[in-house]
Amino acid sequence: MSTTETTTLTAQAREDVKQKIATALPDDEAKAKAGDDLSNHLKSPEVKKQAYESVKSLATTIHDIRKGFISVKAALIVFDDKNYKGKDGNVLKLGPHWEPMIKKFDETLNFSLKQAKEAATFMRTVTAVLGDVAPADGAQLAIELKQFMSGLPAREENALVVNKKFQELADDVILFNAKIDIALEQAEANIKVALESARKRLDDLNKELAVWMEKLNVGTTEMISEIAVGALQAVKSIYTLDFAGIMGAVDSVINIFSHEAETKKKEELEQSIAAVNQEISELLARDQDLGTFRTRLEESKKVVTSISEQILVIVDIWKTIHLDLYSLDVALSSQVKGELTKFFLKKLIVAKEIYQHLTILLETYVEQTNAANPK
Q: pLDDT tens, 112-166?
A: 999 999 999 999 999 999 988 999 998 899 999 999 999 899 889 888 888 888 8
Most confident segment among 51-55, 208-212, 281-285, 308-312? 51-55
| Torsion angles phi and psi, residue 85, rounded to 5 | -105, 140
Most confident segment among 84-93, 153-162, 197-206, 241-250? 197-206
pLDDT of residue 185: 60
The answer to the question of residue 188 being in a domain is: yes
Q: Which residues pair with 85 in a beta bridge?
A: 91
The number of domains in the chain is 1
- Give whole-number Cα distances, 8 to 217, 239, 240, in Å: 15, 21, 22
Question: What integer is the mean pLDDT of 198-210?
Answer: 91
The answer to the question of residue 138 being in a domain is: yes
Indicate the pLDDT class of residue 193, thresholds 50, 70 and 90: confident
Cα separation, 332 vs 328, whole angstroms: 6
The answer to the question of residue 252 being in a domain is: yes
The share of the chain scoring above pLDDT 90, in percent, equals: 36
Residue 6 has pLDDT above 50, yes or no: no
The answer to the question of residue 12 being in a domain is: no
pLDDT of residue 345: 93
Indicate the pLDDT class of residue 5, thresholds 50, 70 and 90: very low
The answer to the question of residue 15 being in a domain is: no
Indicate the pLDDT class of residue 92, thresholds 50, 70 and 90: confident
Lowest mean pLDDT among 131-140, 150-159, 170-179, 236-245: 170-179
Nearest to 99 by CA among 172, 182, 183, 184: 172
pLDDT of residue 330: 92
pLDDT of residue 182: 64
Cα separation, 293 vs 42, whole angstroms: 45
pLDDT of residue 363: 95
User: What are the respective helix, strand and coil percentages of the chain, to the nearest 5?
Assistant: 85, 0, 15
The answer to the question of residue 3 being in a domain is: no
Question: What integer is the mean pLDDT of 243-270?
Answer: 78
pLDDT of residue 249: 81
Using CB atoms within 10 Å of the CB of residue 267, give its burial: 0 to 12 exposed, 13 to 18 middle, 19+ buried.
exposed
pLDDT tens, position by position, 36-50: 999 998 999 999 999
The answer to the question of residue 147 being in a domain is: yes
| Torsion angles phi and psi, residue 165, rounded to 5 | -65, -40
Question: What integer is the mean pLDDT of 180-186?
Answer: 62
Cα separation, 173 vs 303, whole angstroms: 11
The answer to the question of residue 127 being in a domain is: yes
| pTM for this prediction | 0.83
Residue 7 has pLDDT above 60, yes or no: no
pLDDT tens, position by position, 277-329: 889 888 877 766 666 777 777 777 777 877 888 888 998 999 999 999 999 99
Expressed as residue numbers, the domain containing 107 is 30-372
Nearest to 273 by CA among 223, 342, 202: 202
Indicate the pLDDT class of residue 252, thresholds 50, 70 and 90: confident
253 vs 10, higher pLDDT: 253
